[in-house]
Amino acid sequence: MLFKALSAAVYGIDANLIDVEVDYSGVVANEDHFHTVGLPDAAVRESRDRVRAAIKNSGYLIPPTFITINLAPADLKKEGSGFDLPIAVGILGAYGALRSNDLSRFLLVGELGLDGGVRPIPGMLPIAILAREKGIPNLILPAANAAEAAVVEGVNVYPVSSLLDVLDLLNTSVVGVIQREPYRVVTEELLGKLEKFTVDFCDVRGQQTAKRALEVAAAGSHNILMIGPPGSGKTMLAKRLPSILAPLTFEEALETTKIHSVAGVLEAGAGLVTQRPFRSPHHTISDAGLIGGGIVPRPGEVSLAHNGLLFLDELPEFPRNVLEVMRQPLEDHTVTIARASMSLSFPARFMLAAAMNPCGRVAFLPFGNSVSEAKTDRLPTNNQYLRRPYPHAPPGPQAPPRPGC
């Protein structure tokens, strides 16, 4: 018997509709024969053990037989554990546990625990947007993802906590009316209520010149480089810079939340990212970690900082190849990652702030005055302000030699 359910897979920051087709032979075998086709990754192939244990621990007994799961379209690679729920529902529907054979009005996503509980998955916001675009009115998803998906208008979001909860919801909808109220959020209240900062720019005392420079940079979203001795407050000021940036609009918050949801860094239970992102990667980060990458590309730090601030502390310590790959995002405000199977683009419109200690080319005096390199020979050779903290930093650009020299 054949049973169909609808699910979704996320590629980049967008989702694709996936048809989950379940076929079982009905012939009792000596052992389980559970096959998944449609380019599944390891997490999808392992779902057979999670699904069978979840069904058994939910009170249903399925005899050993031949079960084939097809994830269509078959030419797209499927990854993640979000197909557990539609696969389990499809198997139970094929065995007659559901009163209806038509689930075209429902889109199901979620990971199953061995006890039948439904666990959250990343990328729920793009899936909710896909359901609205495809005209699928009802979205069944883990309870922890409900606030994230409910910000999308035009889709009825039904959070569930277990496989039995899903079956009860589907069986009560046979009469045409779902006997449960969908989950709702008020986005305006969400944006206003959560606009709070753990560190605020108003906490800074003194540093008038630096604060004025940061205010000008924040007003025009200009990139800024802070140079000063250790302990002068560069990192402290940079962490408080997002608190004086303009508040996120709903469209910006929606786009930023999509990126954070796909990357799996969205806080549990958070419906929207309501603050400008602040990302501060370590200087040992790779170019793929900064820009993004992977077999199925995932967003990097420049995309996670979209509509926010990317802070590079100890700038000269970053490898040259890592800094070079930032040229295109700074100019085009987007990152395109090409692979053999697909090419994905991620938005990357961010404000760049960097900090570094003064190097040997400029000497800094105790009161913030500077002298040029040509005059440093007049200062004492043991002056502490002439020490170079980056002995391995590459020299600055030099003019090419003239012909004949």
pLDDT in tens, 139-162: 999 999 998 899 888 899 999 999
CB atoms within 10 A of CB 353: 27
Regarding whether 241 and 158 lie in a shared domain, the answer is no
pLDDT level of residue 404 (50, 70, 90 thresholds): low
Kindly report the pTM of this predicted structure.
Answer: 0.79
Apex 235 CA angle, 230 and 241, nearest 5: 150
Regarding whether 83 and 9 lie in a shared domain, the answer is yes
Regarding whether 158 and 34 lie in a shared domain, the answer is yes
Domain limits for position 334: 191-356
Q: Measured on CA atoms in the order 164, 169, 172, 174, is the torsion positive or negative? A: negative
Regarding whether 247 and 142 lie in a shared domain, the answer is no
pLDDT in tens, 200-232: 898 888 889 999 999 999 999 999 999 999 988
Regarding whether 87 and 64 lie in a shared domain, the answer is yes
What's the mean pLDDT in 384-402? Answer: 48
pLDDT in tens, 243-268: 999 988 888 988 999 999 998 888 77
Q: Which of 128, 153, 185 is the last residue of a domain?
A: 185
Residue 163 lies in a domain: yes
Regarding whether 312 and 176 lie in a shared domain, the answer is no
Integer-rounded Cα Rg, in Å, for the chain is 27
Contact criterion met (CB below 8 Å) for 272 and 254 = yes
Residue 267 lies in a domain: yes
Residue 377 lies in a domain: no
State the alpha helices, DSSP H only, in 264-304: 287-291, 301-304
SS3 assignment, position 338: strand
Apex 70 CA angle, 66 and 72, nearest 5: 170
Indicate if the pLDDT at residue 96 is higher than 90: no
Q: Which of 161, 185, 209 is the last residue of a domain?
A: 185
Q: Which residues contact 36 (CB under 8 A, 6 or more apart)?
A: 44, 45, 47, 48, 68, 69, 71
pLDDT in tens, 332-368: 999 988 877 778 899 999 999 999 998 655 444 443 4
Regarding whether 314 and 197 lie in a shared domain, the answer is yes
Residue 55 lies in a domain: yes
Regarding whether 114 and 15 lie in a shared domain, the answer is yes
Residue 374 lies in a domain: no
pLDDT in tens, 280-330: 999 999 999 999 987 778 899 999 999 999 999 999 999 999 999 999 899
Tally of structural domains, the chain? 2
Residue 100 lies in a domain: yes
Contact criterion met (CB below 8 Å) for 151 and 272 = yes
Residue 271 is part of a domain; what is its CATH number? 3.40.50.300
pLDDT in tens, 27-83: 777 777 888 999 898 889 999 899 999 999 999 988 888 899 999 998 888 988 899
Task: Look at strands 292-293 and 278-279 and give their pairing.
Answer: unpaired
Q: Which of 356, 383, 399 is the last residue of a domain?
A: 356
Regarding whether 242 and 180 lie in a shared domain, the answer is no
d(CA 185, CA 149): 10
- What are 43-49's contacts with CB under 8 Å, separation 24+? 43/79, 43/80, 43/81, 44/71, 44/78, 44/79, 44/80, 44/81, 44/83, 47/81, 47/83, 47/84, 47/87, 47/112
Residue 98 lies in a domain: yes
- Distances from the Cα of 167 to the Cα of 97, 118, 363, angstroms: 8, 12, 72
State the alpha helices, DSSP H only, in 134-224: 146-149, 163-172, 187-193, 208-220
Contact criterion met (CB below 8 Å) for 127 and 15 = yes
Regarding whether 175 and 270 lie in a shared domain, the answer is no
Regarding whether 173 and 29 lie in a shared domain, the answer is yes
Contact criterion met (CB below 8 Å) for 261 and 12 = no
Regarding whether 223 and 171 lie in a shared domain, the answer is no
Indicate if the pLDDT at residue 126 is higher than 90: yes
Residue 378 lies in a domain: no
d(CA 82, CA 40): 12
Residue 71 is part of a domain; what is its CATH number? 3.30.230.10
